Amino acid sequence: MKQLTSKITKTLIILIVGFFLVFLNPKGLFDPLRDFFIRIATPFERASYNVGKSFRGTIDFLGSISDLRKENEDLLRENNELSSQVAELSSEKNENKMLREQMDLVPKEDFDLVSSFVSAQDPQRLDSWVLIDKGSSDGISEGMPVIVSNGILVGRISEVYSSNAKVELLSSPTSSINGVDAATNSRGIVRGEYGLGLVLGMVPQSDTISQGDDVVTSGLGSDTPKGLLIGKIKEVRMSQDRLFQEAIVAPRVKYSKLDLVFVIKNKR
């Protein structure tokens, strides 16, 4: 055991001395040996350098991908924001164009009008009511008639809030208004009837109502001005009790497609 330890110690001493002699190279005695070791080590050093360079390149590439991804996310967010702004400006432009066109068609010289856009409608019965974006802060109150272009009546204000109001459409089953055949002056009551739209009822049998005639407001019994257009008579028939005539009236506008309406505050 002592002999083995002695041999190991001698070998280590020889290696350490040899290492210092070769790398310290006193007076250049070991240059050939150093050149030999350097030639052997050079390929390994070159390979190690190339591997390190490749690794650094991979790290840089992954970092550039991360930077590009962040830039793309920023550009996508900016693009979405710009698209939203463009859509908003386009919507405002279309609304302003619609408002100008409709204002040229409504009888604004006869009435004090408040323009309003429809913001919601009855999801169960599309022809029952709509919500508009003007309310009591704009001078709106219950009972005021609501029209569209060319003085076509579509309903009346039924509920009012500070910045919104509910419009009960003429086709609502709870709606009724005095109407008259514009051609014959025969009077009756226009009521909403789900599935049919509008019905002009309570017309005496002695009066004349004809298919194709316009039905307008009579101005009796309400704050609704006289002469607002309601619709056109589509069919004339007897009432179920056979005591009166009645007519199915086709509205001039589709209530489910209302976008812009005008509330009549008062007559000029």
Write a three-state SS string for 129-155: EEEECCCHHHCCCCCCEEEEHHHEEEE
Count CB atoms within 10 A of the CB of residue 141.
13
- Distances in Å between the Cα of 87 and the Cα atoms of 75, 92, 100, 107 are 18, 9, 20, 32
Mean residue pLDDT across the chain: 77
Beta bridge partners of residue 156, listed in sequence order: 145, 168
Residue with tokens 């008259």: 180
- Domain ranges for the chain, please list them: 1-104, 110-268
Tell me the residue length of the chain: 268
Q: 110-268 — its CATH code?
A: 2.40.10.340
pLDDT at 194: 73
Q: Does residue 40 register a pLDDT over 70?
A: no
Angle made by CA atoms 65, 67, 70, in degrees to the nearest 5: 110
Cα of first residue to Cα of last residue in the chain, in angstroms, is 127
pLDDT at 252: 87
Instruction: Between 243 and 63, name the one with better pLDDT.
Output: 243
Q: Does residue 264 register a pLDDT over 60?
A: yes
